[in-house]
Amino acid sequence: MRKAWRRSLLDVDRGPWPDTLSYIKAVIEIEKKWLENFAVPRNRRDIFYRPNHEEKPDSHIRLLDKFLAVIPSILPPDEFCAPMLWHTNLQAINIFVSSEGPPDIASIVVHRYDGDDRITIVPREPILPLLPPDFDKYSKEEQAYLKREEKLAQLHKYYEACIIERNALFAARMTYPHVDRIVALIALLDFERDWDDIALGEPFPISWDASEVARHRKAYPKLTEHEWRVRAVAKALDLALDGWVTNEQYDDVTRRNKIVIKHWKSRWGGPYSFQEGGRSWNLL
């Protein structure tokens, strides 16, 4: 049985929810219940085994509780959070277009991870696009291309400016603080630092253990480095999804990947992702 499907066995609140906060609380509760019932730490001999505190479900549950304690103070108003059906895997291989005539979308496949999510849209202030400062050094063909792109970009920015002028809610979203920091759990530490600006007069709702803070501060740069190196390898090997390649590429990429595995350093924030035993969302 797929682990993801086991969530259907949990006795949890599945909605409908009256507001965004209720929705987030329910999602976190589902994850906590799943961790309590199904999470199995890796064997110590597993190449992907993480430090002991990361393998314990309790440590993940505590972090979710901390996240939930902060959410009520930083959550945008409900009018900023529009519920919508969300397809989480819109890649070229999942989108079919008409074989003749205009390339209209004929169908979209792979809906197994679709969900009804509340999406917070955070527009940015339009910035007028400019030609590169060394524009004169480009060839005539390149200059013509850049001018066309500049014109199209200016039209797009003009459209954004019109939307802001005519849509008060859109403009309000643009000036709402802190919303772009909701997504990262590691940001909890930064929330504490900036809490007076976020929720003036309210005590910070989380108590940190000093050793826990030190561990996070030490681990996060390594995690960032690891993610950067994995992305660089994926780009160099022309990998798609979680290591997927075409049949024609397979032998060559496998050969090159073995070289990367041989030279990968564990001090780079963690084990190499593209090897046997690595996590793949396709194989949940």
pLDDT tens sequence across 92-121: 788 898 888 887 888 888 777 666 665 555
**What average pLDDT does the structure give for the chain?**
75
Output the CA torsion sign for 41, 45, 46, 47. Answer: positive
pLDDT for 10-40, tens place per residue? 888 888 888 888 888 888 888 888 888 887 7
Q: d(Cα 110, Cα 208) in Å, to the nearest integer?
A: 41
Cα–Cα distances (Å) from 181 to 27, 67, 114, 172, in that order, read: 18, 12, 24, 17
Write down the pLDDT at residue 77.
75
| Mean pLDDT within 219-238 | 82
Q: Binning pLDDT at 50, 70 and 90, where does residue 82 land? A: low
Give the H or E element holding residue 107.
Answer: strand 105-108
Question: In 3-state terms, what secondary structure has residue 196?
Answer: helix
Whether the CB-CB separation of 71 and 21 falls below 8 Å is answered with: yes
Beta bridge partners of 105: 97
Minimal CA–CA distance to 7: which of 85, 108, 112, 88? 112
Question: 3-class SS at 115?
Answer: strand
Q: pTM of the predicted model, to two decimals?
A: 0.55
Asked whether residue 274 carries a pLDDT value surpassing 90, the answer given is no
